[in-house]
């Protein structure tokens, strides 16, 4: 099945559109009530709340495949082949989810441009565009499904506490009311990010580069299972870019930990 069939006609698109079409208006109404701590950022808070269950489902599905006895470790190839309908579903789900979130982020910037600094906004857009293109490539050529389970699935584990941490950032009153919970969520994000998106990420990177580097020097199209050479270089560039982005974010996480340890107020 072509990725266009999955993207435009599959259950992922319909279900996610219904999820957001119903969820955002309801949450905006709730968050704009007089007693809500998110009254000043109802739209932003709604998108963050709705993203948390999505990240949980992505992590659950990918982890179930990654750690199962008959999971990704039994794939005949880490590079080629649609190894499981569940793998294809997760890649399609991620493609649709990031496309919708990209639109929502753009709407948020139109709604209130004060919410996200310009540089951070640009990095988020580049991340989403890059990942969307890679998902399309995965589905088009049945390529790198093994690594997709980690990079677009398990790696989202750090996004779960990040979602809660961002909600506390949106409401200083809520953070002041529950300081212990706020600190706990922040620490969970920091350590999960450093463990998953730095240590584990770099470990998987070693396998990834070992597997894909020989394809970049191969003139034999059959050895690449029909994947064009230019797409191999696209993957290498995109992977380097995404890894650099993780390390950039990791540096900010470490600086935040040091700043907190020294009890210096954050300056945005």
Higher pLDDT, 175 or 72: 175
Instruction: Say yes or no to pLDDT of 110 above 90.
Output: no
% of the chain beyond a pLDDT of 70: 83
Higher pLDDT, 142 or 196: 196
Tell me whether residue 91 is exposed, middle or buried, using C-beta atoms within 10 angstroms of its C-beta: 0 to 12, 13 to 18, 19 or more: buried
Q: How confident is the model at residue 219 (pLDDT cuts 50, 70, 90)?
A: low
The predicted structure's pLDDT at residue 33: 84
CB count in 10 Å sphere of residue 63: 16
Higher pLDDT, 4 or 139: 139
The predicted structure's pLDDT at residue 120: 66
Instruction: Say yes or no to pLDDT of 6 above 60.
Output: no
Cα–Cα distance, 216 to 114 (Å, whole number): 43
Give the C-alpha distances (Å, rounded to integers) separating 134 from 17, 86, 94.
22, 17, 10
State pTM to two decimals. 0.85
The predicted structure's pLDDT at residue 76: 60
Cα–Cα distance, 187 to 210 (Å, whole number): 33
The pLDDT tens digits of the residues spanning 223-236 come to 666 788 888 888 88
The predicted structure's pLDDT at residue 153: 92
Most confident of 110-119, 132-141, 200-209: 200-209
The predicted structure's pLDDT at residue 142: 83
The predicted structure's pLDDT at residue 268: 47
Helix-strand-coil percent breakdown of the chain, rounded to 5?
A: 80, 0, 20
Q: What is the mean pLDDT of the chain?
A: 83
Domain borders along the chain are 3-262
The predicted structure's pLDDT at residue 2: 46
Residue 92 tokens read as 């399609």
The pLDDT tens digits of the residues spanning 141-175 come to 888 888 889 999 999 999 999 999 999 998 988 99
């Amino acid at each position: 099945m072509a990725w266009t069939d999955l993207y435009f006609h599959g259950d992922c698109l319909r279900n996610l559109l219904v999820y957001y079409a119903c969820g955002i208006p309801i949450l905006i109404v709730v968050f704009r009530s007089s007693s809500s701590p998110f009254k000043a950022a109802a739209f932003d808070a709604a998108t963050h709340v709705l993203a948390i269950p999505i990240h949980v489902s992505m992590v659950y599905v990918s982890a179930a495949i990654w750690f199962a006895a008959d999971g990704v470790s039994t794939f005949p190839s880490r590079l080629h082949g649609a190894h499981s309908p569940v793998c294809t579903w997760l890649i399609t789900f991620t493609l649709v989810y990031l496309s919708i979130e990209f639109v929502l982020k753009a709407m948020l910037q139109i709604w209130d441009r004060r919410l996200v600094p310009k540089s951070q906004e640009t990095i988020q857009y580049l991340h989403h565009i890059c990942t969307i293109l890679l998902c399309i490539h995965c589905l088009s050529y049945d390529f790198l499904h093994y690594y997709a389970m980690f990079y677009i699935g398990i790696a989202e584990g750090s996004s779960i506490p990040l979602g809660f941490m961002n909600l506390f950032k949106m409401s200083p009153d809520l953070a002041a009311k529950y300081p212990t919970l706020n600190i706990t969520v922040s620490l969970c994000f920091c350590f999960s990010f450093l463990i998953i998106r730095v240590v584990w990420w770099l470990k998987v990177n070693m396998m990834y580069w070992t597997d894909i580097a020989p394809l970049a020097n191969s003139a034999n199209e059959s050895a690449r299972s029909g994947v064009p050479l230019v797409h191999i270089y696209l993957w290498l560039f995109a992977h380097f870019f995404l890894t650099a982005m993780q390390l950039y974010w990791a540096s900010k996480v470490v600086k935040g930990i040091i700043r907190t340890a020294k009890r210096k107020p954050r300056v945005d």
